Amino acid sequence: MRISVIGLGRMGANISRRLMRGGHEVVGFDRNPESVLALAADGAIGANSLEEAAAQLEAPRIFWVMLPHGAPTESTIAALHDIAQPGDVIIDGGNSFFKDDVRRARECGERGIHYVDVGTSGGVWGLDRGYCMMIGGEKPVVDMLGSIFETLAPGLGTIPRTPGRQGDDHRAERGYIHAGPAGAGHFVKMVHNGIEYGLMQAYAEGFDILRGRASQRVPEDERFELNLPDIAEVWRRGSVISSWLLDLCALGLATDPGLESFSGTVADSGEGQWTMDAAMEEAIPANVLAAALFARYRSRMDHSFADKMLSAMRFGFGGHVEVPQ
């Protein structure tokens, strides 16, 4: 299948490369010509404009937009309204707000264009590991795009199947789901990222407590100089709290035990706040997620070892750089 990927940053470029590895043809476009040339060197068809990208596709044309949420995505999809034809498909694979998806699907539908939202998780590791995808849109359109999602997804891998799981839809076991109509994909990904905030905060605070045991604030005979890299490593092996995020903690501590290369100023990309907005709309208590979000706000005023651990994890899974100034 031939598809145009618009936005060739870390995620967009690697999504393109994984698609090409799976036998798909990619027409790549980015405002940065060097990004287009780099992907073309790996086998993609380069395009210098949206119009040029569209001209190299056959109906129904598929446009995968992989840009930061907000103005970059909004302006690109608005431009595609004037380029796409009835029956074409616009996919937003970034981290857009789900209510924007509902509006965009309606606007696209008025023009006969299909709209699909894909919450995409996998970060900088997705090229080799695959991407977990949560998809919103019309069922016939999502089904038509199945070979694209199948290629991008991790597949069954080595994870044991869940005992007692029933149903004929095996896509979830392969790493992607059709969550529901437009907006549902990004809603599920939004909550996923909200949970991520809470998990990361728990690890960060735990390692901060371990490190703090050497503090002069505690009695001398109760002080421990604990080896944090070794603790992270042993927890990875057989522990009930083992996870990929813990793997990233171990990686960060192994290379920089004091996390001196991280500022401790922790950014948020919006999904944590949106998750809290949804919780308030639904009157659902979300104490842990709220505390994790507020901890990130607080990190921009003063910095702890826990904040640096959060920065180390964000660098590990997404390449987000938060270095000391």
- Is 99 a residue of the active site? no
CB 13 within 8 A of CB 37: no
What the block records as the tokens of 25 is 């043809």
Give the H/E segment covering residue 187: helix 184-212
CB 91 within 8 A of CB 64: yes
CB atoms < 10 A from the CB of 169, how many? 9
End-to-end CA distance of the chain: 46
* Strand 114-121 relative to strand 132-136, pairing: antiparallel
Query: Letter for the amino acid at 148?
Result: I
Surface-to-core class of residue 36, CB atoms within 10 Å of its CB (0-12 exposed, 13-18 middle, 19+ buried): buried
Catalytic option among 196, 205, 271, 322: 196
Catalytic option among 58, 139, 173, 189: 189
In Å, the largest CA–CA distance within the chain is 74
Angle at 129 between CA 126 and CA 135, to 5 degrees: 60
Q: Please tell me the distance from the alpha carbon of residue 92 to that of residue 146, in angstroms, as a whole number.
A: 16
- Is 189 a residue of the active site? yes
Q: Classify 23 in phi/psi space as left (phi over 0), alpha (psi -120 to 50) or beta.
A: left
Dihedral of CA atoms 268, 274, 277, 281 in degrees, nearest 10, equals -160
Reported as half-sphere exposure (CB side, CA atoms, 13 A), residue 132 has a value of 11
Q: Please tell me the distance from the alpha carbon of residue 179 to that of residue 121, in angstroms, as a whole number.
A: 15
Cite the active site residues: 189, 196
